[in-house]
C-alpha cells in the first residue's frame, strides 16, 4: 500500500520527493520482506557523452511512495 493507504497496481504513476515514476511490477515480498514496487523513474541521466537515457528501474518500498494517478 502507498502512504495514503491505496492499493498498488502496475502502471500507477507515483512520486518520491520531486521525482515521478511508473510502477512496472508489484513485488509482494521484496527487500525487507515488505511489499515493494519496481519503479521506472523519469529522471534522465547521461550514459556517455552526448547519450542520455532513463535510470534503470529500482525496487522501492511502497510505503515510501505517494500515489499520483492510475493509468490503467
Predicted TM-score of the model (pTM): 0.84
Please give the helix or strand (H or E) that residue 70 lies within, else none. Answer: none
CA distance 72 to 69: 9
Q: Is the pLDDT of residue 72 over 70?
A: no
Residue 7 falls inside a structural domain:
no
Residue 41 falls inside a structural domain:
yes
pLDDT tens digits for 32-48? 788 999 999 998 889 89
Structural domains of the chain, count: 1
The range of the structural domain enclosing residue 49 comes to 13-69
Q: Is the pLDDT of residue 20 over 90?
A: yes
Q: What is the pLDDT of residue 58?
A: 93
Residue 6 falls inside a structural domain:
no
Residue 64 falls inside a structural domain:
yes
Residue 51 falls inside a structural domain:
yes
Q: Is the pLDDT of residue 65 over 80?
A: yes
- Cell reading at 6: 491505496
Amino acid at each position: 500500500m502507498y502512504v495514503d493507504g491505496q492499493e498498488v497496481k502496475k502502471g500507477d504513476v507515483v512520486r518520491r520527493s520531486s521525482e515521478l515514476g511508473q510502477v512496472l511490477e508489484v513485488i509482494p515480498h521484496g527487500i525487507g520482506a515488505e511489499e515493494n514496487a519496481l519503479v521506472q523513474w523519469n529522471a534522465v541521466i547521461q550514459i556517455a557523452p552526448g547519450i542520455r537515457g532513463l535510470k534503470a528501474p529500482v525496487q522501492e518500498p511502497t510505503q515510501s511512495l505517494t500515489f499520483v494517478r492510475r493509468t490503467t
